[in-house]
Structure 1
Amino acid sequence: MTPVQSATIPLFIANKDVIVEAVTGSGKTLAFLLPILQMVITKNTKLLESERKALGKYDISAIVISPTRELASQTYSVLRKFLAFKPLNFISSLLFIGGNSAVKDYKKFEENGAHIIVSTPGRLYELLYKFVSIRDYVKKNLEMLILDEADILLEMGFEKSLNHIFSNLPKQRRTGLFSATQTKQLTQLIRAGLRNPVKIEIKSKNAVKKESSFSKEHLSEEGQKLILSTGLEMSPYLTNSYVILKSSCDKLPFVIRFLTLNCTAKCLLFMATCAQVDYFSAAFEKCLKSTSVKVYKIHRKMKKKRQKIFDDFKLCVSGCVLLCTDVMSRGVDIPSVDWVLHFDLPNTLQSYIHRSGRSGHQVGQKGNSLLMCLPHEVKFVNLCIEKGIELIEKDAEDNNLVQMKEKLVKWMQNNVRESAAFYESSMKAFVSFIRTYNSKNIMCQTLFKELDVVDVANSYGLIKIPIMPELKGKLKTCASKFLRNDRDKEIASKHKEEMQSKKVSDERTEEQRLNKQRLKLKRQRMRKKINSSKLQGKKKKRLIDELELKELEEDAKMVKKLKKGKISEQQFDLHFGSGNCPQCGINLRRTNFRLQLFDDSFVEKEIDIRKRILKDFNKLEEDFDSLDEYNDYLEQVERIIYNLANNVDVEATKRRIEQYKKENADTIVRNRSRMSKDAIFIEELLEEEKAQNQWRTQYGVVDEKDISKAKVREKEALVDELMYSDLPANQILALHSHEKRQTESQPQPPIRPPKPQAFFSTGIKVGQGGNIFAPIPTTESQPYHYVEPKFNLLGPNCPKQEELESDGYLLHIRTIDVSEKAGGFIQHYPCTRALQEAFCGLYFKLDNKS
């Protein structure tokens, strides 16, 4: 047993939660699989001893969560080897990973059941969320939960999924958390998911640190330094080396040359991003076609073939290379890996150790790691050496590299010029590398400043350097010259247009697929509700009507939300669904449709054109000197409408319309704001008719409700009378029918029409509904001239301003202040007012009749 196994297994069996911080190749997998098997066997024997049935088919006793599909598959394969023994045949297990639908996994579980589940967090979350039966079995039976490579689980953004999974698990369980490093996020996860855990640290394959004791006497000075700086240890069977290349363009030919010379070796080639793996795989396949080296590629964005590729590479003994990202750097056990090649710098020292640990991690088997770096990247190598990693420099000089470099760059550029897809792939690879190099690398602040971006662009075979905020002001400082032709700009713009049109068509097809799926799900839900109700006849019809009404209510809510601006048009279309026209392929959206008023589409088209034209051609009879001119104008309007409706001389007609708009701009604006007498009269009639119709419908609805209520009251009164009256039933029924005939024979009250609308002097309408902000009819008249009014006074006139001042009337009036003066107030106003009040009633003239 390894140190991690001897420290972990007894604690786990003794019902303790454990946190194990273990280095690569320390035997973590068996450290948690053996306690799981022991727990299931003990559980089964206890059930048999208590004379109950054996372990149930669906008794999920343990779950192992791994961050990647490859790691989950590897753990599951180790578990299957144990379960192949006859004494353990009664234990069943299942692997739940992505790449296929969750429904298939659920059907597998229903058919076979499972006592141990190995899964990725995303798939387990989906199964617990969608299928209640799995959730119930887990809550009832789970006794052990394992989080393998927990630090990667959090790095990959599975924190929310894990919290949801924890909420659906029983609290009384044993939890084991296995990781290579300790982080702040990990401590938060420990608090949420573990109870009083025991911490075990394995800093070496031969040393155990439990609580506080740690032995490191057997390690060299470099090994001790490495453990103190990174918390990790290099395999003693691994040889680390590095090579300095003059240019980025030398990387690809160097690797191809290396693989052709070591054609029997099994190699892992690590790149920084998924886009780089996709792009460079074509170059490797082309250049290594003549050799016996098989080329594989794998990254996290691959969905379907990923597991098959991983299995094929594992089975391959020699003469193969796997292009991959850091998804393959942790926990994956691939046998007999001879070389780990670092095409790009690892982001951290820990990442370098984990990558390199894929080779030489098995006992007695030697491995090699080769880091390719540019002259300015030697700083990273020096950092590795400072932290205790022994690195040996290798010579990279080879005369064949220069010729191969030129050929490869030309081949990539020709492919980029010919294919829009290859052009897009090259741009994605370049952009992803620059962003990763500028942000994620441990020495990004110093390394990116010295990076020759133009040299990198040449190594990717670019014909145009993309505009990026990271490259602002950097291209001028680069020493290399960008290799391109005169027509490259034109080719790049053509490729861009082609990719954009393809993207739009792909989005349309994806949107159609989603809409169909959404409508299908709605129908399925409706069918389920109808079938589960087990109703027949009228009751079933009523239920269907209710469900349809609910759907209509949802649609009405979405329309209101769109009007209020709470949702976008895209969300609205996604709810209602949209599609393409079968003839022209134009995307049809519900927001662009309206009700067709006429059966003939041509009539509908002509009316639309007429409305549009008459908005601008809005001259009235009063605008012309004679009736003949007005008739000619009307003929011209009709000719324009006819041409546009029948597609006759359309361009010339449009030019005539534009010319008319320029010449009569003032008239069009003026006539839009005024209406003719006939138009006002027609509008009033229409509004009055509309108000009457609304009132009639409202009156009818109220009348129906009153009638139904009256009928109910009559029935209730009749039942009460039959129950409590002393009269015979026949007599009561006869009286009731007589009263009903009398009420029906009475004349109905006449329907009163709505009151006519009143108008203010300003033109605003008041009355039964309607738009109070209706346009005000305006009439043209002569300008207003002020005429001073003359008054016949009985008695003397009031003294004027000069007389008031000279006669001393203003002596008793206070002086005005500044604000009163600014407001236009003068001193003689109150004096004049007082005199007018005094004169009032003193003088009068008797009528001759009196």
Structure 2
Amino acid sequence: MVNKFWKEVRPALSEPVLNCIKKQGFNKMTPIQAAVIPLILSSKDVVAEAVTGSGKTLAFVVPMLEMLLKKQKEEPLRKDFVYCVIITPTRELANQIFKVIKQFLEEPELSCITISLLVGGRSVESDVESLSKGSHIAVCTPGRLMDLLAERKQLNLPGRLKELEILVLDEADRLLDLGFTATLTTILQYLPRQRRTGLFSATQTKELQDLIRAGLRNPVVISVKEKSTISTPILLENYYVIVEAQDKFIFLLNFIRNRIMVKGLFFLPTCACVDYWADILPVFLPDKKVYAIHGKMKQKRSKILENFREAENTILLCTDLMARGLDIPCVDWVVQWEPPLSPAGLVHRAGRAARGGAAGCSLLPLLTTEDAYVPFIKANQLVQLKDWTQSTDQIKVTQKLRDKVLSIMHEQQLKDRSVFDKGQRAFVSHMRAYTKHECNLLLQFKDLPLGHIATSYGLIKLPLMPEIKQEHKEQFVGPKIDIDFNSICYKDKQKEASRLKKLEEYKKTGVWPSNKKKKMAQTQPWEKAKMNKEERKQRKKKRKELKQQNPEGKRSKKRRAVTQAELDELAADVALIKRLKKRKITQEQFDDAFDVDK
């Protein structure tokens, strides 16, 4: 089948592009590439849906280079024009695509084509300078492109885009999930209508359909799946396991220990969770290199990702920042702490393994209250999860192991208050994130044993949360010794000095010196806060509707016209007041004129 695809597409490509493809080792063409490349070359708008890891990047890179090479032969490419724009949801994905294209441009036949990477995390001036020198292809994130279009007038990027040939939105559904709808709509207004557009994603959503209608002209929709019964790569094995809430970390720890992982991805619910487990996990895995990455890391992300790519016997703790589009070779295991916020997220997370025809596995631990998720995800996303307990590799959690692991986790927090703080933040942020699950009919926050989950986190005390009830306090297993929490110190001397100063003030006043607004902001359960927010939203909507019906509001009420007689009477009264001030009349005369009762 692959050879057949290659033979079908080959006649449409020029010799320089074919040579580059062979030199780069891309001599096997996937179904999505075979379907999309001829369509783009024939000036069609394309909407392509294919499972993650199926080669979507080359499906738009190859025709893009072919188109530029053809244009160069007809008329030299202008230095000050941008002919191709690729928009991605994250800078990591943009950087990956940039490197793929850069490999092609190293070939002499394509050296006439220039490229720029326009992403956040670095100065805008460097991007302005790059575009000013000349860039035929721009790989960018939507926020940075919007900034360059709207704010940098001296660059005149809209003018540079007037000859735009092709626009590509990679991971288009993720762009919309991240709230870039308004930004993309504005960007499209700057771009010429006579262009080719390609939307590439692993899943189709209603929002994506709206964008297709707004930005494409009679697009050809391509949907390529390896089997009609699955939506993940064919060589990817997806497992689930039911675990007790208090044993989740211990189970996952032993699971990772017992696997020979070249590279593993460990997906966690929030940035705070990544920060906390990045301190805890290396203590238990001294023979593995543990990296951590999330969206709040601005400058470090590229370096961390590069180190992870080059390392072996390593694991990367991450959020859903890493769930889309990134192609990291040799990822053989994807481990998740819990189901992602959206069902489609499971497909993308698991798809980081088994890329490019390689084998891989994923594991999703579920609590006893979450077992209905297995049939749901099969029906909703066509993902068949196998029961790990049916395998020959059994992982047992004993009381002795529980005590040992908890003891080490407690010790880490007692040694450094920073770890203690991170644990508290991680737990609270995780619980808040759980309330936002799209399939909250199955994953209900009220069913969670919060005390057991806090035990799994190895916390030394329960956070102050309105959701924590007496039953949760009874579930919680903390240290077996009494702890003076004020005596836990920061390893960082500067932070510790600041804490001691605040502690001294607290002992004097009984009030901890901090931002009271920040402290008092969360005084009610999230469920109630969510209801209140919804009520405020409805009230605002109602006011907006009333305003539309009556645009001028209260001011639209007609005022009664003032008669001339009333104006004359007012003028007479003013004249009397002036005469009184000038003592031309007495107070008695003034009172008589105004009928003042004495």
Alignment TM-score, normalising by the size of structure 2: 0.72
Say if 1:245 and 1:373, in contact at 8 Å, map to a contact too. Answer: yes
User: Is the alpha carbon distance of 1:82 and 1:252 closer, same or farther for their aligned partners in structure 2, counting shifts above 3 Å?
Assistant: same
Query: Using the alignment, how far apart are the partners of 1:381 and 1:257 within structure 2?
Result: 23
Mapped partners of 2:463, 2:439: distance in 1: 25
Which amino acid in 2 is paired with 1:256?
Answer: L
Correspondence 1:425 to 2:422: yes
Tell me the amino acid that sits aligned with residue 43 of structure 2: N
Amino acid at match of 2:273: Q
Letter in 1 for 2:388: E
Is structure 2 residue 56 aligned with structure 1 residue 28? Answer: yes
Structure 2 CA distance for partners of 1:148 and 1:254, relative to 1, 3 Å: same
For 1:338, give the aligned amino acid: D
Equivalent residue, structure 1, for 2:337: 343
Shift of 1:447: 4.0
1:294 aligns with 2:294: no
Mapped partners of 2:322, 2:254: distance in 1: 24
Residue 495 of structure 2 corresponds to which residue in structure 1?
none
Q: Is the 8 A contact 2:170 2:199 kept in 1?
A: yes
Q: Residues of 2 paired with 1:236 and 1:353: CA distance?
A: 12
| Structure-1 residue corresponding to 2:74 | 46
1:306 aligns with 2:301: yes
User: CA 1:130 to 1:114, structure 2 compared with 1: closer, same or farther past 3 Å?
Assistant: same
- Give per-residue Cα distances to partners, 1:22-55, cap 9 Å, x unaligned: 22122211111112112211221111xxxxxx21
CA distance, structure 2, for counterparts of residue 446 and residue 7 of structure 1: 39
Question: After superposition, what is the alpha-carbon deviation per residue over 1:82-104, rounded to whole angstroms, capped at 9, x for unaligned?
Answer: 11111001101111112111112
Q: Residues 693-712 of structure 1 correspond to what in structure 2 (within 5 A)? A: none
The equivalent of 1:461 in structure 2 is: 458
Q: Which runs of 5+ in 2 are unaligned?
A: 1-28, 489-498, 507-511, 519-578, 588-597
1:274 equivalent among 249, 271, 274 = 271
Cα 1:310–1:90 shift into 2, 3 Å: same
1:326: which partner in 2?
320
Return closer, same or farther for 1:247/1:114 CA change in 2, 3 Å cut-off: same
Hey, what's the Cα distance between the residues in 1 that align with 2:187 and 2:432? 33
Q: Which of 122, 130, 136 matches 1:115?
A: 136
Q: What is the one-letter code of the residue matched to 2:310?
A: L
Instruction: Indicate how the Cα distance of structure 1 residues 476 and 89 shifts in structure 2: closer, same or farther if over 3 A, else same.
Output: same
SS across alignment from 2:162: helix
Asked whether 1:93 is paired with 2:146, we answer no
Distance in 2 of aligned mates of 1:278 and 1:115: 40
CA distance in 2, matches of 1:419, 1:322: 23
1:389 aligns with 2:384: yes
Could you say which residue in structure 1 is the equivalent of 2:36? Answer: 8
SS of 1:483's partner is coil
Would you say the 8 A contact 1:58–1:137 is kept in 2? no
Contact 1:61–1:116 (Cα < 8 Å) also in 2: yes
Q: State yes or no: 1:131 paired with 2:152.
A: yes
In structure 1, distance between residues paired with 2:408 and 2:586: 84
Q: Deviations over 1:102-138 (max 9, x none)?
A: 112212333x421001111111112222222242443
Deviation at 1:503, TM superposition (A): 6.5
Whose relative contact order is higher, 1 or 2, with alpha carbons under 8 Å and at least 6 apart? 2
Matches within 5 A, 1:526-565: none
Residue 347 of structure 1 deviates from its aligned partner by: 3.1
Distance 1:370 1:496, change over 3 A: farther
What do you get for the CA RMSD once the two structures are aligned?
A: 3.4
Task: Look up the SS of the partner of 1:439 in the other structure.
Answer: coil
For 1:288 and 1:97, how far apart are their aligned partners in 2? 34
**Number of the residue aligned with 2:235:** 237
After superposition, residues 703-782 of structure 1 pair within 5 angstroms as none
Contact 1:235 1:360 in 2 (8 A): yes
State the alpha-carbon separation in 1 of the partners of residues 149 and 165 from structure 2: 17
Work out which of the residue numbers 70, 73, 84 in structure 1 matches 2:95. 73
Aligned equivalents of 2:266, 2:586: Cα separation in 1: 87
Go from structure 1 to structure 2 and tell me whether the alpha carbon gap of 1:475 and 1:389 turns closer, same or farther (over 3 Å shift). Answer: farther
Change (3 A) 1:348 1:401: farther
Structure 1: how far apart are the matches of 2:383 and 2:325? 22
CA distance in 1, matches of 2:37, 2:396: 57
Cα-to-partner distance string for 1:134-170 (whole Å, 9 max, x where unaligned): 4244332212110011100000011121122112212
1:199 aligns to 2:225 (yes or no)? no
**CA distance change for structure 1 residues 114 and 403 in 2, over 3 Å: closer, same or farther?**
farther
Shift of 1:279: 0.8
Structure 1 counterpart of 2:181: 159
Question: Which protein shows a greater Rg?
Answer: 1
Distance of aligned partners of 1:385 and 1:10 in 2 relative to their CA distance in 1, 3 Å threshold: closer
Identical counterparts, % of pairs = 39
2:526 corresponds to: none
Distance 1:33 1:451, change over 3 A: same
In the alignment, the residues of structure 2 paired with residue 408 and residue 477 of structure 1 have an alpha-carbon distance, to the nearest angstrom, of: 21
Question: SS at 1:140's partner residue?
Answer: coil
Distance in 2 between residues matched to 1:758 and 1:464, nearest whole Å: 80
Task: Please name the residue that 1:698 is paired with.
Answer: none
Look up the match of 1:18. 46
Distance apart, 1:390 and its partner CA = 4.1
Amino acid at match of 2:71: K
| Cα separation, 2, equivalents of 1:117 and 1:478 | 55
Partner in structure 2 of residue 189 of structure 1: 211
Look up the SS of the partner of 2:388 in the other structure: strand
Matches within 5 A, 1:793-812: none
CA distance in 2 between counterparts of 1:497 and 1:393 reads: 50
Cα offsets for 1:306-337 (capped at 9, x unmatched): 01111111122x21000011121121111111
The C-alpha deviation readout for 1:227-248, integer Å capped at 9, x for no partner, is: xxxxxx2222122223332333
8 Å Cα contact 1:420/1:495 also seen in 2: no
CA distance change for structure 1 residues 36 and 414 in 2, over 3 Å: closer, same or farther?
same
User: Which residue of 428, 434, 437 maps to 1:437?
Assistant: 434
Instruction: Calculate the TM-score normalised by the size of structure 1.
Output: 0.52
Contact 1:463 1:488 in 2 (8 A): no
Cα distance change, pair 496–468 in 1 and its aligned pair in 2 (3 A) = farther
Residue ranges of structure 1 left out of the alignment (5+ in a row):
48-53, 206-218, 227-232, 507-754, 763-785, 787-850
CA–CA distance in structure 2, aligned partners of residues 157 and 177 of structure 1: 17
> Cα offset for 1:280?
0.8
Does structure 2 conserve the Cα–Cα contact (< 8 Å) formed by 1:337 and 1:359?
yes
* C-alpha distance in structure 1 between counterparts of 2:472 and 2:290, whole Å: 37
Q: Secondary structure of the equivalent of 1:344?
A: coil
Q: In the superposition, relative to structure 1, how do residues 117 and 501 fare at CA in structure 2: closer, same or farther (>3 Å)? A: farther
Map of 1:104 onto structure 2: 126
**Cα deviations across residues 380-408 of structure 1 (Å, max 9, x unaligned)?**
23434565504132378656764443344
User: What's the offset of the Cα at 1:344?
Assistant: 1.9
Structure 1 segment 319-718 matched on structure 2, within 5 A: 319-363=313-357, 365-384=358-377, 387=382, 389-394=384-389, 402-417=399-414, 419-443=416-440, 447-468=444-465, 471=467, 474-476=469-471, 480-483=475-478, 487=483, 501=513
